[in-house]
Amino acid sequence: MNGEKKLRILLAPLDWGLGHATRCIPIIRYFLQKGCEVVIAADAAPAKLLQAEFPGIGIKQLPGYKIRYSSGAFLALAIVKQLPNILRTIKAEQQWLNDLLQKEHFDLIISDNRPGFYHKNVHSVYITHQLLIKSGWGKMIDGVLQKKHASYIKQFNEVWVPDLPGPQNLAGDLSHPPKQIVQPVYIGLLSRFSREVNSSTKYDLLILLSGPEPQRSILEQKIIQQLHLFKGSVLLVRGLPAADEKLFSQLPHVTAVNHLPALELQQAIVSSQQIICRSGYTTLMDLMKLQKKAVLIPTPGQPEQEYLAQYMQQQGYFPFIHQQHFSLDAALKLLNKFTTATSFTENDFELYPAAIEHGFKQTASNNH
């Protein structure tokens, strides 16, 4: 990796929420520190977020999947309705990549959960924590989805799973399915943050919103309506890096921002007494890295987040409350009485460089 040739890496995160882009930040940093050129294939919010984190980084406009929830329907039904568009997007990203590689050379392709973003002539890596996809329709449908997902994964040279290989892991059955179809490389946990030991309290409550619409906005309005009951200082991070409009709070103790860069968000998290957030996997990794307590609100109808929220509570890591039953007072009482189990170590977040080095050895051998 430290040879004379400057290796070029093309990285494409899924646009389903911001977690796929943010968990790629430590990997991108590592490549840049090694003197590689990293180019991002994305559009909209993921592109804005990564461009803000890495000013001057190359951005190729790759259209996203633009998956949208309904306000009340079960997510699986919404996905079924959007399945033709999803399959078209997979084919379109394959064609987009083929066209790009006819004009430009890349030594390594990394896809975070974009199943069509690989090429047979370039070492291609797939990042996912969902080797088993929870459908909410039972084990039979989960098995069908697992096989379909695996059929895409097998087109890649490697699959990197951001989790630990042993029984103490963060994603449970998602990353360690009872029946393993593919051979993953567990690269340890990923977080864009660095652990801080000492920090004074600046906010009594931090609210982190994220995820596709309209559920993000539904939860935002639900919380805002109850914030007048909270007397401490509040920071609301809306999770909208691409938005131009701002939310102006009528409450003097509430500060609302659309987005915070990694360093500012880290400072906000470590300086907050209490945290309310979704149960997205990247958020969980970030909270574990900073060793912060939080109450989780899984996105309604999203089986993955619902499973992770339940798994976190069962493991003693974080409590959760359903969005339809949400009250600010109940959520904070639940958080205050919850006893958090011993979490993960700093070393669990430093395993990914070894996987990257292995991938580069494969890349180097393929290029000679």
pLDDT tens column, 72-101: 545 556 666 777 888 899 999 999 999 999
pLDDT at res. 75:
58
State pTM to two decimals: 0.91
Proportion of the chain in helix, strand, coil states, percent, rounded to 5:
40, 15, 45
Residues contacting residue 253 through CB under 8 Å, at least 6 positions apart: 230, 231, 232, 233, 234
CB-neighbour burial class of residue 37 (10 A; exposed 0-12, middle 13-18, buried 19+):
middle
259 and 228 Cβ atoms separated by less than 8 Å: no
Question: Max CA-CA distance within the chain?
Answer: 65
63 and 92 Cβ atoms separated by less than 8 Å: yes
Peptide bond into 214 cis (omega under 30): yes
Q: What is the mean pLDDT of the chain?
A: 89
Q: Is 155 helix (H, G, I), strand (E, B) or coil?
A: coil
pLDDT at res. 251:
86
- Compute φ and ψ for 36, nearest 5 degrees: -85, 160
18 and 46 Cβ atoms separated by less than 8 Å: yes
Distance separating alpha carbons of residues 116 and 206, to the nearest angstrom = 37
7 and 108 Cβ atoms separated by less than 8 Å: yes
Residue range 116-146, pLDDT digits in tens? 999 999 999 999 999 998 877 778 888 888 8
Domains in the chain, ordered, with CATH?
8-189+348-367 (3.40.50.2000), 203-343 (3.40.50.2000)
The mean per-residue pLDDT over the stretch 307-311 comes to 96
User: In Å, how far are 88, 193, 196 from 264, measured between CA atoms?
Assistant: 38, 10, 13
Q: Which residues does residue 161 pair with via DSSP β-bridges, in sequence order? A: 186
19 and 46 Cβ atoms separated by less than 8 Å: no
**pLDDT tier, 160 (very low <50, low <70, confident <90, very high otherwise):** very high
The helix (H) or strand (E) run that includes residue 52 is helix 44-53
365 pLDDT higher than 70: no
Residues contacting residue 137 through CB under 8 Å, at least 6 positions apart: 76
368 pLDDT higher than 70: no
Distance separating alpha carbons of residues 173 and 175, to the nearest angstrom = 5
